[in-house]
């Protein structure tokens, strides 16, 4: 069995689930990318390097998990128009206008709260599909931040779902590395 091909096929099925998940007003602003092979390794390496450079052990921990992953599904929103309810969920009294949106530290924001719920439903649908196929996953914010910086996906806000086909769930029982100790040991 070619694990890489199987993982990519399951990632494609996960993408189908994300696209077909219900959306507010039936409007789809979800964008998807599947990364495999060398891109997964580059993503992991960049996550680890970033974690060390900003002294954030969680980027290192998650990067180590991504390094062992067989594929990564990126699920994001691009140019998501507000639903138009003026609900205030985004923090504004009236729906977001284009001039309100700006590049923040990790994403473009604000984003309509209902569109973010659409993203969450798409993510849940994707991981449900992975579960049906007995593939281990973890929704990762940190992997998404670095994937966006690497231009692996053109999205305003994004989450990553690394997937693994192995005898043990690599996203479970993860240890947060001691960066001070790692730096002393020259890792």
pLDDT tens, position by position, 84-139: 999 999 999 899 998 999 999 999 999 999 999 999 999 999 999 999 999 999 99
Q: What is the percentage of the chain residues whose pLDDT exceeds 70? A: 95
CB 58 within 8 A of CB 176: yes
Residue 110 lies in a domain: yes
The pLDDT assigned to 147 comes to 98
- Cα 35 to Cα 148: distance, rounded to the nearest angstrom: 12
Which residue range(s) make up the domain with 31?
3-180
What's the pLDDT score for residue 48? 97
Non-local CB neighbours of 106 within 8 Å, separated by 6+ positions = 145, 148
Tokens standing for 96? 């977001």
Q: Is residue 124 part of a domain?
A: yes
Q: How many domains does the chain have?
A: 1
Confidence band, pLDDT 50/70/90 cuts, at residue 177:
confident
What is the model's pTM? 0.92
Structural domain contains residue 158: yes
Q: What count of residues does the chain have?
A: 187
Do the domain assignments include residue 185? no
186 pLDDT higher than 60? no
187 assigned to some structural domain? no
CATH number at residue 78: 3.40.109.10
Give a yes or no: residue 107 inside a domain. Answer: yes
Reply yes or no on whether the pLDDT at 185 is more than 70. Answer: no
Residue 51 sits at φ, ψ, to 5 deg, of: -60, -40
């Amino acid at each position: 069995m070619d694990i890489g091909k199987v993982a990519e096929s399951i990632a494609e099925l996960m993408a189908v689930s994300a696209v077909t998940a219900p959306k507010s007003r039936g409007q789809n602003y979800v964008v998807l990318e599947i990364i495999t092979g060398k891109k997964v390794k580059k993503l992991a390496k960049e996550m680890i390097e970033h974690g060390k450079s900003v002294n954030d052990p969680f980027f290192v921990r998650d990067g180590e998990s991504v390094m062992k992953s067989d594929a990564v599904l990126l699920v994001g929103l691009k140019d998501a128009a507000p639903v138009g309810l003026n609900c205030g969920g985004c923090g504004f009294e009236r729906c977001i206008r284009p001039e309100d949106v700006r590049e923040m530290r990790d994403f473009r924001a604000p984003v309509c709260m209902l569109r973010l719920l659409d993203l969450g439903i798409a993510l849940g649908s994707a991981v449900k599909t992975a579960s049906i196929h007995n593939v281990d996953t973890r929704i990762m914010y940190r992997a998404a931040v670095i994937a966006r910086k690497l231009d692996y996906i053109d999205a305003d806000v994004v989450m990553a779902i690394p997937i693994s086909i192995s005898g043990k769930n690599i996203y479970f029982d993860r240890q947060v590395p001691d960066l001070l100790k790692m730096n002393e040991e020259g890792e």
